[in-house]
Every structure is written in structure tokens, then in C-alpha cells.
Chain A
Amino acid sequence: MSPNDVLLRTVTKAAIVIILTFSIYLFFGGHHNPGGGFIGGLSVAAGLVLLFLAFDIETVRKNIPIDFKKMAGFGVLIAVLTGVSSLFFGEPFLNQTFGHFHLPIFGETELATAVLFDVGVALAVIGTAITIILSISEGK
């Protein structure tokens, strides 16, 4: 008899929207509030683990066709490149800058290059966490 997971799956569909939205909020709020790349990436990974629990691994892998090992490597690559790119402007390694720009919807916005480093950290954290969990669960 296969278990009937209607309740868990329905609530997961509602909860995953909240979790991913909140992790994006944590990611972008990291400059002035508690949050940032690490905790944003970890909460994305927690949402994906909830998906793996509610649905089976094959279904989720088919709908999110991302190689998480490559994702972790890509994150480290981004983080290193943002550090290296400051060398081209005659600044020390990992130096950062910010400026005020006028964006169409957001209006006057402060954009910092530290966000790019945070993108790398977040991708590395998501890739590493999901790789660990998937490789544990697939081992017989």
C-alpha cells in the first residue's frame, strides 16, 4: 500500500513559495540587516530538502535540472573573479566599491560589488549542501 501524501505535498507547495521568497529577502537584505549570502543559500537549500522529502528525488531532479556540483564550483569561480577584477582597476585584491544608480522601478538605489561576492557564496553553499544530502541519500 503506497502512502497517501496529499496533505504533505499540498502544504509543501504553499510553504516552498514562502521559504524561497524569504531566502531571497535574506540574501538581498544582507548589507544592512542580518542575512547575506551564507544564510540565504542555506535557506534555499532547506527549501530544496523539503521538496526532496515531499516528492521523490527523481521528480525534483527532473524539474530542477541543475548539476549541483557544477553550481558549487561556479559559485567559487564567481567569488574569485570578483576578487580578481579589482586588480584590473589598480586596487588591492578583493577590494570593493559602491555607487548610487537610478533604476526604473526601484528609483535611487545603492548598488555594491559586495553583492556579486555574495552571489558566489550563496551558489557555493547551495551546491555544497544539496550535493552532501543527495550523495548521502543515494548511497545504499
Chain B
Amino acid sequence: MNENVYINIIVAIFLLFGTILSFLSAIGLIRLPDVYSRSHAVSKSASLGVLCTLFGAFLFFLLTDGYFSIRLILGIFFVFLTSPVVSHLLNRAAYHSKVELTKETVQDDLKEFLEGE
């Protein structure tokens, strides 16, 4: 076992974790009942999956070639910054265009607030 094998194992763990998270978010997109819980599943786990994949690629180029890819760092930061905002805007647009919540919903505070105005 030389050094290169350890590098490959670490990178493979990151890539596998990222792809498994993306797969789980796709399952959540199919199985969850309404828009809000679907976006809850997709935005968190898909963005973490993409972040893990990008970080694995960054580590691979850094440790094998010694190439510090500033573009991958920038991509990680950019996905981390923008993907929650996208999900927030989608959810808000869905709520304001009166997409129904699932039947199991217990409480809807925002509806009472909007009606109170």
C-alpha cells in the first residue's frame, strides 16, 4: 500500500458519498407528498452531494497532480451560496401561487398571518 492508494481511497469515498446523496435526493423527489417537502429533500441533499463530488475532484487534482484548482473552490462556494436561495425562492413562489400543502399538515402559520393583513 503506497501513498497513491490512500489518496485514491479518500477521493473515492468523497465521490461515492456525493453520488449516493444525489441518488437519495432523487428518491426523495419521487416519494415525498408535496412541493415543500420535495424541495426540502432536493435542495439539501443534492447540494451536499454536488459539494462532496466537487471536493473529491479538487482533492484528486491537488494530491495527484499538485494542481490547486481555484475554479473548483469557487464552484463549491458558489453552489453553497446560491442553491438554498433558489429553493427558498421556489418555495415562496409555490406558496404565493397557492400550491396546496399535503393533507398531513398540522399547522399553517403563514396563512393566518397573510389573512390577518
Contacts and interface: CB of A to CB of B under 8 A. Distances in A.
Interface of A: 1, 3, 7-8, 11, 14-15, 18, 22
B85 A18 contact: no
Contacts, number: 20
Contacts of B117: 1
Given A1-B117, A7-B88, A8-B89, A22 B81 contact: no
Given A1-B117, A8-B85, A14-B81, 14 more contacts: A3-B96, A7-B85, A7-B88, A7-B89, A11-B81, A11-B82, A11-B85, A15-B78, A15-B81, A15-B82, A18-B74, A18-B78, A22-B71, A22-B74
A1 B117 CA distance: 9
Ranked 4 nearest A-B pairs via Cβ: A11-B85, A18-B78, A7-B85, A7-B88
Nearest to A53: B89
A27 to B, nearest CB: 14
B6 to A, nearest CB: 31
Given A1-B117, A11-B82, A18 B88 contact: no
17 contacts: A1-B117, A3-B92, A3-B96, A7-B85, A7-B88, A7-B89, A8-B85, A8-B89, A11-B85, A14-B81, A15-B78, A15-B81, A15-B82, A18-B74, A18-B77, A18-B78, A22-B71
Contacts of A1: 117
B44 to A, nearest CB: 17
Nearest to B93: A3
Contacts of B89: 7-8
Contacts of A11: 81-82, 85
B115 to A, nearest CB: 12
A50 to B, nearest CB: 10
